Amino acid sequence: MKRGDVIAALSLLALAGALLLFRPSGAAGVYVNGAAAVESMTINGVVIEIAGQRARVIDSPCRDKLCMRAYWLTRPGDVAVCLPQRVIVEIRGAARNGVDGVAG
């Protein structure tokens, strides 16, 4: 293989990886562990309250309770994660407008 062939192959692999990472997230709404959710539930001891297109963790058996500090998740991209209990709550939908906290 020539140098140009290696560069072309690596470029194609990078493009394929980018397409997999940035694919559309599906329908807008609340998702718990990747599945759409429309009503409040308890998973692995984590109590999740869902009201319309927003959600929050209201109780968790984990020690630090960081997932509860996220409070209401309302905008696409908002996420609450409880690692000890393996629970992810997220809001999916169209991308937010405006700047994020990093870009300031």
0.75 cut: is pTM over it? Answer: no
pLDDT tens digits in sequence order for the chain, 104 residues long: 688 777 877 776 776 666 555 555 456 789 999 999 999 999 999 999 999 889 999 999 999 999 999 899 999 999 999 999 999 999 998 655 555 556 55
Judge whether 45 lies within some domain. Answer: yes
Judge whether 65 lies within some domain. Answer: yes
Domain total of the chain: 1
Exposure class string for 34-73: b at 16+ Cβ within 10 A, else e: eeebeeeeebeebebebeebbbbbeebebeeeebbebeeb
Judge whether 85 lies within some domain. Answer: yes
Res 20: pLDDT: 54
CATH assignment of the domain containing 41: 2.60.320.10
Judge whether 39 lies within some domain. Answer: yes
Judge whether 38 lies within some domain. Answer: yes
Domain membership of residue 63 as a residue range: 26-92
